[in-house]
Structure 1
Amino acid sequence: MASIISISGLTKRYASGHVALHGVDLEIEEGEIFALLGPNGAGKTTLISIICGNVTGTEGSVTVAGHDIVRDYRGSRRAIGLVPQELHTDAFEKVMSTVRFSRGLFGKPRDDALIEKILRDLSLWDKRDAKIMELSGGMKRRVMIAKALSHEPRVLFLDEPTAGVDVELRRDMWALVRQLRETGVTIILTTHYIEEAEEMADRVGVISGGKLILVEEKTALMRKLGKKTLTVMLADPLPAVPAELAQWDVTIKGDGHELEYVFDTQAERTGVSSLLRQLGDLGIAYKDLNTRQSSLEDIFVGLVHRDADAAEAVA
């Protein structure tokens, strides 16, 4: 698929000497959901702010829908809808008015049918005449999304969209994001909730210390870096791991009643079957088996720690 966002050598250096981004290269495909993950201060919001024209990069280039963000700021900004992490709304304005006004800011003609559809999709239609100050935090965030969608952008940035939102509302927003993707909108999501990326993203980028340390298709990432844990519930407890099981690097848990074997998904077939066969040869009976797949959060934490350890080694 064609790239709708192209980033090359993007660096952000502040007068203090702090480098927030180090030569970031990234291509985001049209119509995908891309999750950008990273700890606090990793550079997620800085990257989004530069793409959206709110912060000026020091070096490098960015194009959005074919528009250079510096030379053709208006063209690139028209293609973008931004839902920032902070809630910025006019407390005394009504929902319908503020969304309609946002559309006009981009030079779009009035389209009440479109605004109604957006408000209905976001469960805001019944609140259309309510003042922003009368809404709950979750509803205010929905208004921010409605404003971002009002000018029909091709790219939607969601910076921590469900921060402070309850579980039910979070699920509603996930459903909305999927609907938007089906209409061709490209979604770039930053989040602290790893399950959001695991639930929705097509691809995942991990940023740490201002460096993009990995970009991978989600399922491929989990297949390549994911681990599984096999827990064997024994019929009788073992006082120690038999020497014959040393090659599998198993550990004893649960007061000797469980054997735990951690393996990568690529070794699943051969490793597990041979381990169980060896248990049978040793006369070790078991009454149950349980496997657990590592989550995207496990992979993310491992990658960030690995990057931090590498940085310390260089220093």
Structure 2
Amino acid sequence: MKIFDWVQWTSDCRLAVDTEDDAAAAAARRAVSYELESVERVMNRWVKHSEISLINDSVRARGSVSCKVSDTLAFLIMQALYSYDFTDGAFDPRVEDSLQALGYGAGLESLDLQVTSGGRLVCQQTGSLNLHDQVQLNYENQGWLLTTSATLDLTAIGKACAADFAAEAAAEAAQAPVLLSLGGDISTAGAYYSREKNPGWAVVVEDLLGDPQAVVELINNGAIATSSSQKRTWGEASWHHIIDPRTGLSAEPDLKTASVIAETAAVANVLATAAIVWGRQAKEELAQRNCAARLVTAQNLLIHHNWPENTEQGSDPELAGASRD
């Protein structure tokens, strides 16, 4: 097993490649770097000249914009539109201006609460306006045309999709099974020839040290994501980065964390993020979507739905993956 650790997008990242071949492992790491850099050029809201930043600046200046977009950005927007529908609006990419109004800037160490001169927060409440009325994506003249009157934050869906893209690319490059963890988003790829030889990946599910902890077996080509209201916090009001689109403010912290197992990191991330927004209704909402979920309440109570049994236990720091945001 070859393991690479690094920090990207303010997240702890890990690539585990099930091989002893140094060249194959290095090829997998290069494939991951290429895929992540490709996605970052498109969706990174903290990079001034990223594709999404340029579009958002145009929306702020003009009120709306119609422009051709790259295939990668079109894919992320399609995923965001689908996720909006799948979660009945709990997952909404129109939170960029709310994040800025609350002070979520380029680095958590320099965050300041931004208010109007009258002392009132300026936040975008998106719940009353359907996403499809503001964002349209069409394929015209051999290219994708985006028409939007809303600023978009694609960080969450972009990071999760990047995990899926990069895991597939790494497995192909190494010709070996891989696990890729980007903060709270974990994706696996590649085929095991013998389940008896290697039944799957052991993944630690934990947020902050001291929180309830679980270890699950993640079958290869599966994914898991954890969203948290405890991290990426700032300000006296304890704002966090998961916005409730109905209010434009940080979601009520009824849940500390939500972890979801799914076929892709993108789907798992969307449902875990939506669960934080749903709060007390999360179990019922997730049950309707037939997924495996583990919720930790503010009181450290555990709520499971279709979650693997006998997983609540201590962790081994040498295990390959940790689902931490």
**Which one has a bigger Cα radius of gyration?**
1
Scaled by the length of structure 1, the TM-score of the pair is: 0.27
- TM-score normalised over the length of structure 2: 0.26
